[in-house]
């Protein structure tokens, strides 16, 4: 069976995560994705370097892609872009609007090359508003959505280490791109797909924002402890930490019965966890979270990680070990998923564990994994496909176009 997106060509002018990961999703299902970068390699290639011309982020973002180098703003580069776009279906570029126009990569220019082109872009703050021209990374979304304010402890806003805003924007854009492809198949029309880091963060934190607007609760951060249910917290065990999440009355009743069945860690004066009115609903349990967390901490303290996680799992109570990056790689559940595929890259000491797309489709399969490209690895091949002769390519190199 042919790959789902076979025959779809994507030009990826993206940088870092939001653009490149969107393109990587398309490449994973068979699109021919051509990454276009600076002649000496774009800056995102070197983040957390592991080998010459490849950092860890680059290895993930650019698997299954081909690479050419190009200066699209030069006269020769504009000619190459025009030829490439005429044969492409999708152009991805997460660059500021002014930069896109300067480079000749704005939607109006691209439509002049191919009327039904699908142009995918995203910015930090969105296409309109007083900050729309400002630039930014993942953390601006965390900061301006209320997420950073609500993370950590009072008076110490804390960013998440994982780039969830960038990845969320990439996934929204990939969804938008597939919708645009479906629309074009029906109507023949291309369109512009626009995402924004701030918009993604606002969407993810929307429940908190709705509550604030309607109820004016003015919540403040509470570290790892939940606020709308309990016990939700991180607890110390004899060999590390575990996370527990109890939400909803059925889960809470299972937890309360587990506590009642353990007299060894009970104390005089403990309430009846099942009948005390302070613990009757998620909301009231959230208010009295400190009492519930203290009880769970006592239960966890004399036990090790496996005992706690297995006991809670058997009781159908959500819990998981808090793992370091190495522990995550080594964990049998992570390994059982088969998500991390070993991919070699020139200069690496060992293969890199590059994650597959984290979904399973019963009928549609991803394409075999190919490593991320070296700088300009496919420049000659791609230009040859556009009709450039070896002499013409040599001329472009002499002119610093590629």
Every domain of the chain and the residues it spans = 9-204+338-399, 232-324
Q: What whole-number distance in Å separates Cα of residue 352 and Cα of residue 339?
A: 12
Mean pLDDT of the chain: 96
Q: Which of the four pLDDT bands, split at 50, 70 and 90, describes residue 123?
A: very high
95 has pLDDT over 90: no
What value does the mean pLDDT take over residues 4-30?
A: 97
* Structure confidence by residue, pLDDT tens digits, 182-230: 999 999 999 999 999 999 999 999 999 999 999 999 999 999 999 999 9
378 has pLDDT over 90: yes
Q: What whole-number distance in Å separates Cα of residue 97 and Cα of residue 138?
A: 18
Q: Which of the four pLDDT bands, split at 50, 70 and 90, describes residue 1?
A: confident
How much is the pLDDT for 192? 98
Q: What percent of the chain has pLDDT over 70?
A: 100
How much is the pLDDT for 45? 95
64, 28 contact by CB (below 8 A):
yes
Q: Which of the four pLDDT bands, split at 50, 70 and 90, describes residue 370?
A: very high
* Structure confidence by residue, pLDDT tens digits, 160-189: 999 999 999 999 999 999 999 999 999 999
Instruction: Calculate the alpha carbon distances from 326 to 25, 57, 167, 347, 353 in Å.
Output: 26, 17, 22, 22, 12
What value does the mean pLDDT take over residues 343-370?
A: 94
Question: What Rg, from alpha-carbon coordinates, does the chain have?
Answer: 26
Largest CA distance in the chain: 88
| Token pair of 309 as six digits | 């996680």
Count H helices and E strands in the chain, helices first. 17, 15
Tokens 């979904």 belong to residue: 359
Query: Going by CATH, does the domain composed of 9-204+338-399 fall within 1.10.3720.10?
Result: no
Q: What whole-number distance in Å separates Cα of residue 54 and Cα of residue 41?
A: 10
Give the angle 204-209-211 at the CA atoms, nearest 5°: 120
How much is the pLDDT for 272? 95
Give, as one character, the DSSP assignment of residue 125: S
Q: What whole-number distance in Å separates Cα of residue 243 and Cα of residue 281?
A: 21
* Structure confidence by residue, pLDDT tens digits, 250-269: 999 999 999 999 999 999 99
Superfamily of domain 232-324: formyl-coa transferase, domain 3 (3.30.1540.10)
Q: What percent of the chain has pLDDT over 90?
A: 97
Instruction: Calculate the alpha carbon distances from 77 to 40, 71, 81, 195, 377 in Å.
Output: 15, 5, 6, 27, 17
């Amino acid at each position: 069976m042919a790959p789902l997106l076979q025959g779809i060509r994507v030009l990826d002018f993206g940088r870092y995560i939001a653009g490149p990961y969107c393109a990587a999703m398309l490449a994973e299902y068979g699109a021919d994705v051509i990454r276009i970068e600076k002649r000496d390699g774009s800056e995102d290639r070197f983040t957390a370097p592991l080998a010459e011309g490849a950092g860890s982020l680059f290895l993930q973002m650019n698997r299954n892609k081909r690479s050419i180098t190009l200066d699209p703003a030069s006269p020769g580069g504009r000619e190459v872009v025009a030829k490439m776009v005429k044969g492409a279906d999708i152009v991805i570029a997460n660059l500021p609007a002014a930069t896109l126009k300067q480079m000749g990569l704005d939607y109006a220019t691209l439509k002049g090359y191919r009327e039904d082109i699908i142009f995918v872009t995203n910015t930090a703050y969105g296409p309109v508003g007083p900050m729309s021209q400002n630039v930014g990374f993942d953390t601006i979304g965390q900061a301006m959505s209320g997420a950073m304010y609500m993370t950590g402890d009072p008076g110490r806003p804390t960013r998440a280490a994982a780039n969830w805003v960038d990845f969320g924007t990439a996934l929204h854009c990939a969804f938008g791109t597939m919708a645009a492809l479906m629309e074009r198949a029906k109507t023949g029309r291309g369109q512009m797909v626009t995402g924004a880091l701030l918009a993604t963060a606002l969407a993810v934190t929307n429940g908190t924002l709705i509550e604030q607007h309607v109820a004016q609760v003015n919540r403040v951060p509470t570290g790892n402890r939940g606020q709308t249910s309990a016990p939700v917290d991180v607890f110390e065990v004899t060999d590390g930490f575990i996370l527990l999440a109890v939400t909803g009355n059925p889960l809470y009743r299972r937890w309360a019965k587990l506590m009642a069945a353990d007299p060894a860690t009970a104390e005089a004066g403990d309430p009846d966890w099942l009948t005390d009115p302070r613990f009757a609903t998620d909301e009231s349990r959230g208010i009295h979270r400190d009492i519930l967390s203290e009880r769970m901490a006592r239960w966890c303290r004399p036990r090790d990680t496996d005992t706690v996680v297995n006991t809670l799992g058997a009781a159908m109570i959500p819990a998981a070990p808090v793992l370091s990056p190495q522990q995550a790689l080594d964990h049998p559940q992570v390994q059982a998923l088969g998500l991390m595929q070993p991919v070699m890259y020139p200069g690496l000491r060992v293969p890199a564990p590059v994650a597959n797309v984290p979904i399973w489709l019963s009928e549609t399969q991803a394409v075999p994994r190919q490593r991320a490209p070296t700088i300009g690895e496919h420049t000659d091949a791609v230009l040859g496909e556009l009709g450039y002769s070896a002499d013409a390519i040599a001329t472009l190199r002499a002119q610093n176009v590629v």
